[in-house]
Structure 1
């Protein structure tokens, strides 16, 4: 069964800054290059109902694909060298269709 993986987050960088733009583009380029990732998307939060700024969303065809993504070297490197340093806070949501 397919899994939709979403992370909703805010960055430490100033809004509209070159660093913010670079983080979002690097996330798109690097994470979408992982073979198990399908339908990778980058979103900007527009609702006043929460104060997160962005979202990454992707789909995996199976639990095995999701697990492969989590341990993939590109993902591990992005988390260690970008995410942990540049993301101020986040909420992770993993779900599948009923």
Structure 2
């Protein structure tokens, strides 16, 4: 990094990192990103885990509330999409670490 994080940057980054610190949520984020059209519903993600649908929905809600996923409701299903700009910002802040 050319400069250390400011207090404001650290404050913005901390909730995102906290949401990503869970292995299930990290995997969910990668599954949504890799899904066709970069969008997936809970019904598309359940089989990848040995967890109940409400538990998967809870983890997706945490990612959404942290600002990492957008969501839209269609009928009875909620579809999730990666917020690429947010992930790019996280990557940009962390990209210089260790150089």
The TM-score with structure 1 as length reference comes to 0.30
- Report which of the two has the higher share of helix: 2
Query: Which of 1 and 2 has greater Rg?
Result: 2
The TM-score with structure 2 as length reference comes to 0.29
- Report which of the two has the higher share of strand: 1
